[in-house]
């Protein structure tokens, strides 16, 4: 169970993480808007660019699978307990500059060890979200190279679905790490 001190200490970080996730959602949607605003279904200049479509689809598939596998591997029980055991050992600098913030001194060693789990969760989410938005960017590149605006829609839908699946749940991972310890 997370203590009230830790929840209060991390509340701004949870809000920032949700804001970053929302911005990644907006970036994926912006890829669709860029294609739509730059011209709806232009005339195809030549047929060479459409031969690249399989490369874009395979790349998007690899990115999508990699992002989901990364998240799955990042939150295994072994990984969570290993992070906690490394935690805030004596002589080790505090996780990600948390010591400069108000309230850090009030946290006991157990809560400080959970901060390492939060830092890991935050970075794992951001890396996965970057991969997922890259799927939408691939769709944008394909649409602009083939000059068919409809090519972008599938990529953007997949990117948005992946982002929704990988919504930030750092508090849940902290709870699980607390139960495992």
Q: Label residue 90 by pLDDT band (50, 70, 90).
A: very low
Predicted TM-score (pTM) of this structure: 0.84
> 36-43, long-range: CB within 8 Å, 24+ apart, which pairs?
36/149, 38/144, 39/149, 40/149, 41/148, 41/149, 41/150, 42/147, 42/148, 42/149, 43/147
d(CA 139, CA 59): 10
Residue 91 binned pLDDT confidence (cut-offs 50, 70, 90) = very low
Question: How crowded is residue 2: how many other Cβ atoms within 10 Å of its Cβ?
Answer: 14
Q: What is the pLDDT of residues 120-136, one digit of tens each?
A: 888 999 999 999 999 99
Question: pLDDT tens, 58-79?
Answer: 999 999 999 999 999 888 888 7
Average pLDDT for 70-98: 68
pLDDT > 90 fraction of the chain, expressed in percent and rounded: 36
């Amino acid at each position: 169970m997370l203590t009230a001190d830790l929840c209060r200490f991390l509340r701004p970080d949870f809000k920032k993480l949700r804001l970053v996730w929302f911005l990644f959602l907006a970036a994926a949607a912006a890829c669709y808007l860029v294609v739509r605003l730059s011209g709806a279904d232009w005339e195809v200049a030549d047929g060479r660019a459409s031969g690249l479509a399989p490369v874009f689809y395979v790349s998007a598939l690899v990115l999508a699978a990699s992002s989901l596998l990364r998240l799955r591997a990042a939150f295994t029980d072994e990984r969570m307990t290993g992070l906690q055991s490394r935690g805030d050992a004596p002589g080790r600098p505090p996780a990600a500059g948390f010591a400069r913030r108000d309230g850090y001194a009030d946290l006991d060693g157990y809560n400080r060890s959970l901060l390492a789990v939060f830092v890991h969760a935050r970075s794992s989410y951001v890396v996965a979200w970057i991969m997922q938005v890259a799927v939408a960017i691939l769709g944008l590149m394909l649409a602009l190279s083939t000059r068919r605006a409809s090519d972008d829609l599938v990529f953007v839908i997949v990117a948005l679905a992946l982002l929704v699946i990988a919504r930030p749940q750092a508090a849940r991972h902290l709870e699980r790490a607390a139960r495992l310890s």
